[in-house]
Chains A and B, each alone.
Chain A
Amino acid sequence: AQSVTQPDIHITVSEGASLELRCNYSYGATPYLFWYVQSPGQGLQLLLKYFSGDTLVQGIKGFEAEFKRSQSSFNLRKPSVHWSDAAEYFCAVGAHQAGTALIFGKGTTLSVSS
């Protein structure tokens, strides 16, 4: 079955500390992988995507993610977290085809402490 697992429901990180949010997927074909962020009252904003090629992808707001096929993982990282990064983060997987569904994980809520 196709699925996305985000093992951490809630993470608290000190401002300035590094961050890693975990994402594991199960997908029958070569996946397209995405990270989205949702701030309170806002929609889902695309942070970054992986289609092929270099397994380390850069996104907006200083985020990066690394695709590891052997571990079926696509973890999101940021070297230094800012208070404005507090939000909910969703990992998603899709097919190599336009117009198809994204499958989302349950999300990880990030809190940033001062």
Chain B
Amino acid sequence: EPEVTQTPSHQVTQMGQEVILRCVPISNHLYFYWYRQILGQKVEFLVSFYNNEISEKSEIFDDQFSVERPDGSNFTLKIRSTKLEDSAMYFCASSAGQFRSSYEQYFGPGTRLTVT
């Protein structure tokens, strides 16, 4: 069964460093998403991406964050200058398309980001 994959599973970085989290969405999906879950808190939406553009973003997704689809398979989240409060589990998700039956989002296993 096709699945969303994410690398790395765990990333440790120092405050102020740049990190790139990588995701490979399900191959025929058109919409891509990033969410995060700070320990003990809700899963929160960051951004959605379609046709090489951001289609929706939350207040969390400020200028420190960016997303990119550098090739036909990868989808990345970059945090330019990490802060302690960026420590969280980051989930990538994808959904198939524009028809109601294909709205559901499929999630990857997550990348745990620890900022020290």
B12 proximal to A (CB < 8 A): no
Q: Which of A44, A51, A101, A107 contacts B100 (CB 8 A)?
A: A51
Pair B105/A102 contact, Cβ less than 8 Å: yes
- Is B18 an interface residue, CB under 8 A from the partner? no
1/0 contact string of B33-66 vs chain A (CB within 8 Å): 1010000011111001110000110100000000
Q: How far is the CA of A92 from the CA of B107 in the complex (A)?
A: 13
Q: Are B104 and A99 in contact (CB under 8 A)?
A: no
Interface centre among A42, A44, A90 (most CB of B within 10 A): A44
A48 to chain B, nearest CB (A): 10
Task: List, in ascending order, chain B residues with CB within 8 A of A41's CB.
Answer: 109
A77 at the interface (CB under 8 A from B): no
B25 is an interface residue with CB less than 8 A from chain A: no
Q: Bits for A79-105, please: 1 = Cβ < 8 Å to B, else 0.
A: 000000000001010101111111111
**Bound form: Cα–Cα A34–B107 in Å:** 13
Whether B42 pairs with A104 at a CB distance below 8 angstroms is: yes
Chain B residues within 8 Å of chain A by Cβ, number: 33
Interface pair A106/B45, CB less than 8 Å apart = no
- In the complex, the answer to whether A98 meets B31 with C-beta atoms within 8 Å is yes
**Residues A36 and B107 in contact, CB atoms below 8 Å apart:** yes
Shortest Cβ distance from residue B49 to the other chain A in the assembled complex, whole angstroms:
8
A56 within 8 A of B: no
Partner of B110, one of A43, A97, A98: A43
**Distance of A92 Cα from B104 Cα, bound (Å):** 11
Closest to A106 in B: B42
List the 7 shortest-distance A-B pairs measured between CB atoms, nearest first.
A101-B45, A44-B107, A43-B109, A104-B43, A99-B55, A43-B107, A99-B31
The chain A residues found within 8 Å of chain B, CB to CB, are 32, 34, 36, 41-46, 49, 51, 90, 92, 94, 96-107
Known A-B contacts: A44-B43, A101-B56, A104-B43. Give 16 more (CB < 8 A).
A43-B4, A43-B6, A44-B93, A46-B105, A49-B104, A51-B100, A51-B101, A90-B43, A92-B43, A94-B103, A94-B105, A98-B31, A99-B95, A100-B56, A104-B42, A106-B42
